[in-house]
Amino acid sequence: MSILDIDNTKIAVIGLGYVGLPLAVEFGTQWNTVGFDIDQSRVNELQDGYDKTGEIDCNQFAASKFIKYTSAEADIKNANVYIVTVPTPINESNLPELSAIKSASHLISSMLHEGDIVIYESTVYPGLTEEICIPILERSNLLLNKNFYCGYSPERINPGDQSHRLKDITKIVSGSNDFALDLIDSLYTSIIEAGTYRAPSIKVAEAAKVIENTQRDLNIALVNELAIIFNNLKIDTNEVLDAADTKWNFMKYLPGLVGGHCIGVDPYYLTYKSEQAGYIPKIILAGRKLNNDIPGYVAKKLLEHLNAKTIQHDQANVLILGFTFKENCPDIRNTKVIDLYSELQKLHINAEIFDPHASYTEASQEYNISLIQDVKSNYYDAVILAVPHDYFVDKSYDFILSLCKQKHVFFDLKGAFDSTISDFRL
């Protein structure tokens, strides 16, 4: 089979979340594509041309003329290119949780044919594709590089980022042999305007992906630690960063809560594999711990500021604005706002959370928490702007002020407003 033979190529994208849907929609503009997801409600909304994640708009749905959305396994049995984009989270012990990628591999194994290609995009640790996924695929009684081919092309989607879309980001590609690499490269080249980078091996491609977010995690951990230091020294962290940023080689990162499906997860995949190889990482795990400790640090700071203004903390009405893991995005996966909420509860500070972007149903199902659907005027003793959605910032500080009692505390964690306005920011 030639990948460039449009008439005889059928692509099945398995997993239609933030990664899989944009990929399936883009392939569907040119190629015979099936978007598969086990969540029938997700499939139903996509069939109606609606994407709750906000990544795909009506024009993109309309342009994807050769796609079918389904939850029926029979609809992908005749595919000859399988692309796996299922979640790879961590469990409560911060260990890789691989049930979804194993399940997808078993599904493909049950329908694999001679000459088929399987491409993994889910973030994994170096070696996982060859050590776990390919042996599952070979249970089909087909052999790698003899009867079927495999590759890894890591996702680089940034949820909510309209400036860096799928087509605009260089795509790393790798294959189980040179023939597979050529086919996979030609496939992605057909949709990626930014071009591709041919990694020398699957392991290199896996490692490149996992260190991208590990590097970001460590850089944010550094500025979070700097923020703690500068807060103790009564220096504005953002002013320091602005000054340092005037040097050409300074990399400006901002302090904040570090959550989401990548930055707060991927370092654990790398450290898990490293420990298996006999080395316990020091800097990576220290950065993870520091970032995980930030919600507790913020909670203690709120207690200090409430006490300083003689506001009884266990009787205070506290409002947290924002629940998603980042601004202007509905994604609540691994949000650290829930950790902030829990830390406040430990200090006997009751809080409620409002977020116009977050799904109330998903918040209840995933975190057993009820988000409020509206805010109250002149009611709150403290307001924490945890996620600076445009919805909040565009309303200006007057909106924040209208929610507060005359004596109140305002935390602007990411410095969305002028520093003179807030009592505390990271």
Catalytic residues: 262
Q: Is there a contact between 235 and 59 (Cβ–Cβ < 8 Å)? A: no
Which of 181, 164, 165 is CA-nearest to residue 173?
181
Q: How far apart are CA 54 and CA 65, in angstroms?
A: 19
Mapping DSSP to helix (H, G, I), strand (E, B) and coil, where does residue 300 land?
Answer: helix
Q: Which two tokens stand for residue 196?
A: 């591709």
Closest CA to 301 of 373, 384, 244: 384
Quote the CA–CA distance of 342 and 344 in Å, as a whole number. Answer: 5
Cα 309 to chain centroid distance, Å, stands at 38
Amino acid, res. 415 = G
Within 10 Å of residue 118's Cβ, how many Cβ atoms?
28
Q: At 291, is the secondary structure helix, strand, or coil?
A: helix
CB of 389 closer than 8 Å to CB of 357: yes
Closest alpha carbon to 155 in 334, 19, 325, 11 = 19
Q: Distance of CA 4 to CAs 114, 181, 186, 353, 387, Å?
A: 18, 14, 7, 50, 44
